[in-house]
Amino acid sequence: MAAVLISGGTGLVGRALSKKLMAQGHEVRVLSRTPKQSGNVKSFFWNVEQQQIDIAAFEGLDHIVHLAGEGIAEKRWTDQRKRDIVTSRVDSMKLITDTVKLKNIQLKSFVGASAIGIYGMTTSNNIFSESDSGTKDFLSETCVQWENAYNTISLNSDKTTIIRIGVVLSAEGGALKKLLPQFKLGLGSALGSGKQYMPWIHLDDLVSIFTEALFNHCYKGVYNAVTSEHITNKEFSVQLAKSLHKPFFMPNAPAFVLKLILGEMANMVLTGTRISNQKLVNEGFVFRFSNLSEALEKIVSKK
pLDDT score at 6: 98
* In the predicted structure, residue 88 carries a pLDDT above the cut 70: yes
How far is it, in rounded angstroms, from Cα 167 to Cα 169?
6
Task: Give the pLDDT mean for 270-278.
Answer: 97
pLDDT, greater one: 36 or 300 = 300
CATH number at 3-234+261-301: 3.40.50.720
Domains of the chain, by residue range, sit at 3-234+261-301
Task: Report angle CA 106, 118, 166 to the nearest 5 degrees.
Answer: 85
How far is it, in rounded angstroms, from Cα 296 to Cα 170?
9
Task: Give the pLDDT mean for 6-34.
Answer: 95
pLDDT score at 301: 84
Report which of 183, 197, 292, 295 is spatially closest to residue 248, judged by C-alpha positions.
183
Q: How confident is the model at residue 35 (pLDDT cuts 50, 70, 90)?
A: confident
* In the predicted structure, residue 71 carries a pLDDT above the cut 70: yes
pLDDT score at 39: 75
Task: Give the pLDDT mean for 271-300.
Answer: 96
pLDDT score at 241: 97
Q: How confident is the model at residue 205 (pLDDT cuts 50, 70, 90)?
A: very high
- Name the 3-class secondary structure at 269: helix
User: Cβ distance 73 to 265 under 8 Å?
Assistant: yes
pLDDT score at 152: 96
pLDDT score at 36: 82
What is the average pLDDT score of the chain? 95
Say which amino acid occupies 96: I
133-173: pLDDT as tens digits:
888 999 999 999 999 999 999 999 999 999 999 999 998 99
229-261: pLDDT as tens digits:
999 999 999 999 999 999 999 999 999 999 999
Say which amino acid occupies 112: G
Phi, psi of 93 (to 5 degrees): -70, -40
Task: Give the pLDDT mean for 50-65.
Answer: 96
Q: How confident is the model at residue 303 (pLDDT cuts 50, 70, 90)?
A: low
User: Cβ distance 206 to 168 under 8 Å?
Assistant: yes
* In the predicted structure, residue 186 carries a pLDDT above the cut 90: yes
How far is it, in rounded angstroms, from Cα 53 to Cα 32?
9
Distances 16 to 6, 11, 116 between C-alpha atoms, Å: 11, 9, 20
209-230: pLDDT as tens digits:
999 999 999 999 999 999 999 9
* In the predicted structure, residue 302 carries a pLDDT above the cut 80: no
Q: How many residues does the chain have?
A: 303
